Structure formats: C-alpha cells, structure tokens
C-alpha cells in the first residue's frame, strides 16, 4: 500500500474523498474516473427508458420491450460492481473499488435510516433497509400524506449526500405485507393521481417459477381478497372452494404442472431423486433420442400411488395422466405441500392457521362409474375396487343402481338418464370439433400432445365424464 504523509493529505483535503474502508479517491473536479462516467451514462439512459414506459403504458408491446431494455441496463450497472471485486476470475480486478462501494453504501444507508427515525415531524419508522432502498412505515397515513412525506424524506436524504448520490421516492404501498427480507407484496401507487393500484410482488410464490400455476393463482387471489375486503371469512371460503375442486377432481390439470430445468444426465450425482431426471429416464427407456436439451424445462405432475411409495415414484408426465384413467392428481400433496404453505407464511403474520381450514373439509373420494369391460383392467389401489352407491337421478344412496323412489317413476328416470347421456355426448362432440378444426383433419382423430393447449385438458376431462354413458345405458336397459 502507498504510504502518504499526513502533511500531504492535509494539503489535498479539498481534492480527495476517503471511503469508510480507508481508500482515497480524487474528486471529479480533479479527474473523472472511467467507471463513474460509464455508469452515469447507463443510469441516465435507464431513467429515460423508465420515463418512456410511463408515456406508453397503454401499449403493452412497447411497454414490454422498454421494460426488458431497462432491466438489461440495470443488470449491466449491477454486474460492474462484481466485475471490479472479482479478484480471481476478473480481467480488470480492483478490490479497493469493490470494498469502498460496499462500505460507502452501508454508511449511506445507515445515515439515511437514522435521519428518518430521528425526524419526529414525519412520524416515520424504517422497517426494512436493503443495499440501496428503504421501506418506511407511516402508521395511519393516507395516500396523499404518504406521497408528501415520502417526497420530503427523499429530498432530505439527498441533501445530506454528495452528488450524484440521490434517493429517489419510488412508490407507495397501500396496503402492504412485508414477509421477510426481499419478500413483500402490496398494492402499488407510483403517482398521486393514480386511481387503480397495481398488484406488485417481489420474492413470493406469485412471481416465482418453482411452483405450479395453481399456487400462484390461489395465493394472488387470496392476497387481493385480503387487501380489498379485509375479511378473513372471504379468503377462507375461497381457499376451501379451491381445495374442494381439487379433491373432487374438477380442477384443470394444466394449473398443477411443475416444470423444472433439466441440467443434463452428467450434472446429477448417482441416485439423485430429481423429478426432471426421473421423467427423462422414463422417456429414454421408451426412446433413446427423447432426452431433453440442457436447460429445457421438463413438465411433470404428482399422482396418487400405493401407500408407502416415495414421492419420486409418484412423478408422471402430464400426457400419461391424460391417457390413463387410473391416474389421479395427488390432491393431498398439492394442498398440504404446495398451496397451503405459501398462504400460511402470509396469513400467519396476522395469526391465521390456514391448515385448520383444510382439516375442516370432508375427505372426498371420487368413484368412477365405468362400464364392466373397463372395470376388468388391472387394479392396483383399493379405491379402484369401489363402486358408486348413489342414484344417478336423485343422488340418494341405494344398493341397486336406481333407488326405489325413482323406480316408481320409470318415465321420469328414462327422460333424466337419456338427457344426461345426450348432454355428455354433446359436450364431447363440441370439444372434439375444436380439435378437428385446429388440426384440419375431420375424418380421423389426431392425438394432441401440446401441454400449452387448454383444450387438451378439457378433452381429457370430458372423455372421462363420457365413460359414464355405458353405465347409464345399462341402467336404462332395466326399464
């Protein structure tokens, strides 16, 4: 290190800046550095792009393009710090700059937090500070008061820091949930005249890609109900309805598909229990050329299986579940391991136990009413030996297909059963017509394997419902 005499430092005191880590830098008036010049241009360009986004917010295409560009500029600015601090792999490492940035950022943030907490007229308290941002709590403040105080805080903090350090007042969350560090959600207002808030989430399951779409949809809808109604009973009713749909087999399988990245067979240790790898092994056993590309996302679902089977053996391809009527989505796993835990992390902050909502639900086991030929297939679980004891006309319990009350009205039974069969066939005809129009093939059925097509899952559901028709015809033959 360079040793400089105290006398020389005193003479240069107006031309140098000493960082908290003890590194001295000359001021811009003496010489402007390469990195400050580059970063200043990048940050100014990013601000210009973000302002353009506000001007074209009604045009979704332009907004998406500008958002991608501002994120790219942000990434360049962010990695510049890592570029200077990389002492092993960096091409132009300068540890002094990296250390100075870390220490100066911490000092600036702590000074800003102290200023906000010590200024009594604002009545504000910093509840969270991370790198270059602060979350300020204004208890009982309205939206108008929040914007006014927020602007005052930004101006006061900016005045205490040297140029070009500037604290920008970004947005107001009303209301907001701060779960943990880097995980928060709220209704966002960016301007005072903004009437409708924007749902803004960071770090929680609504914006993460490691869960199935159902988790994101249910969590987002529950949070919106909490923000808009402030009534827990509405959230409870909604969550229980979604759980019942899944338990009854009425939910779309498209919302319960996981898609995890495949890293290549050589990237996993021997015996690794990874769903993407397990699916790939099954695909390779069928066709050696069907291995996914490295980085490709492999879709899979979790199904019911024999008691005691490990979870990795319950992994199936979505297309296999569509083709095999004996496979059912594992509702217990999806509810207890995927849907409820994210909700619990949010609602436990206000003392709500969401798992008790699930425990209050009846345990429903859907029984398929298939014809005898279909029932003769190999049975692997006890549920496949169940038979329905409900009358298809009035839904009352009975030991004989049609209950005694309905048997006394044979004409009514015939009309109702024929009407149900006709409705099942009509639904099947309509949905298959959509597929035929899509494939432009009307003389034969072409199998569809596009998991992005919502009609594919509707066809499977309607086909399973149509499997009741032979059973209903057997009942009709009794009259």
CB 284 within 8 A of CB 275: no
The predicted-structure confidence for 293-311, as pLDDT tens digits, reads as follows: 999 999 999 999 888 889 9
Per the DSSP assignment, residues forming a β-bridge with 53 are: none
Quote the pTM value. Answer: 0.78
Look at residues 220, 131, 222, 224 and name the one whose alpha carbon lies nearest to residue 182.
131
Per the DSSP assignment, residues forming a β-bridge with 93 are: none
The predicted-structure confidence for 211-259, as pLDDT tens digits, reads as follows: 899 999 999 999 999 999 999 999 999 999 999 999 988 888 999 999 9
pLDDT score at 381: 52
Does residue 375 register a pLDDT over 50? no
* Contacts by 206-212, CB closer than 8 A, 24 or more apart: 209/259, 210/260, 211/258, 211/338, 211/342, 212/255, 212/256, 212/257, 212/258, 212/334, 212/338
Lowest mean pLDDT among 7-16, 38-47, 337-346, 386-395: 386-395
The C-alpha angle 310, 311, 314, rounded to 5 degrees, equals 105
Chain position carrying tokens 């986004």: 53
The predicted-structure confidence for 62-91, as pLDDT tens digits, reads as follows: 999 999 999 999 999 888 887 787 766 656
């Amino acid at each position: 290190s360079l040793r400089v005499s105290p006398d020389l430092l005193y003479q240069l005191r107006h031309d140098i800046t000493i960082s908290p880590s003890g590194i001295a830098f000359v001021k811009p008036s003496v010489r402007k550095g390469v990195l400050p010049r580059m970063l200043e241009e990048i940050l100014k360009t990013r601000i210009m792009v973000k302002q353009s986004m506000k001007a074209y917010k009604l045009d979704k295409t332009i907004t998406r393009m500008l958002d991608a560009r501002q994120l790219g500029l942000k990434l360049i600015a962010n990695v510049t710090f890592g570029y200077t601090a990389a002492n092993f792999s960096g091409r132009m490492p300068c540890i002094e700059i990296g250390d100075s940035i870390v220490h100066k950022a911490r000092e600036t943030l702590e000074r800003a937090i102290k200023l906000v907490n010590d200024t009594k007229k604002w009545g504000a308290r910093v509840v969270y500070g991370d790198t270059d941002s602060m979350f300020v709590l204004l208890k009982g403040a309205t939206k108008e008061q929040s914007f006014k105080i927020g602007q005052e805080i930004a101006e006061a903090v900016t005045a205490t820091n040297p140029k070009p350090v500037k604290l920008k007042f970004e947005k107001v969350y009303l209301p907001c949930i701060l779960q943990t560090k880097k995980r928060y959600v709220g209704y966002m207002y960016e301007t005072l005249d903004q009437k409708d808030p924007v749902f803004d989430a960071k770090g929680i399951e609504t914006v993460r890609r490691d869960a199935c779409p159902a988790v994101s949809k249910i969590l987002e809808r529950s949070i919106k109900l909490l923000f808009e109604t402030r009534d827990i009973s509405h959230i409870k009713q909604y969550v229980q309805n979604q759980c019942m749909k899944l338990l009854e087999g009425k939910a779309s399988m498209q919302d319960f598909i996981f898609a995890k990245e495949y890293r290549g067979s050589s990237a996993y240790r021997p015996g690794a229990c990874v769903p993407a790898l397990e699916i790939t092994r099954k695909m390779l056993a069928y066709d050696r050329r069907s291995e996914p590309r490295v980085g490709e996302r492999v879709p899979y679902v979790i199904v019911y299986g024999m008691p005691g089977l490990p979870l990795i053996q319950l992994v199936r391809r979505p297309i296999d579940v569509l083709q095999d009527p004996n496979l059912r989505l594992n509702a217990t796993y999806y509810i207890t391991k995927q849907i409820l835990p994210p909700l619990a992390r949010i609602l436990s902050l206000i003392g709500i136990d969401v798992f008790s909502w699930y425990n209050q639900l009846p345990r429903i086991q859907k029984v398929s009413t298939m014809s005898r030929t279909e029932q003769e297939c190999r049975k692997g679980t006890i549920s496949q030996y169940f038979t329905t004891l409900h009358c298809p006309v009035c839904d009352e319990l009975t030991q004989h297909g049609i209950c005694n009350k309905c048997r006394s009205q044979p004409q009514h039974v015939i009309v109702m059963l024929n009407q149900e069969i006709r409705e099942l066939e009509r639904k099947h005809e309509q949905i298959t017509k959509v597929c035929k129009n899509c494939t432009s093939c009307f003389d034969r059925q072409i199998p569809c394997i596009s998991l992005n097509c919502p009609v594919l899952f509707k066809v499977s559901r309607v086909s399973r419902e149509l499997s009741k028709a032979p059973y209903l015809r057997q009942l009709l033959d009794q009259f």
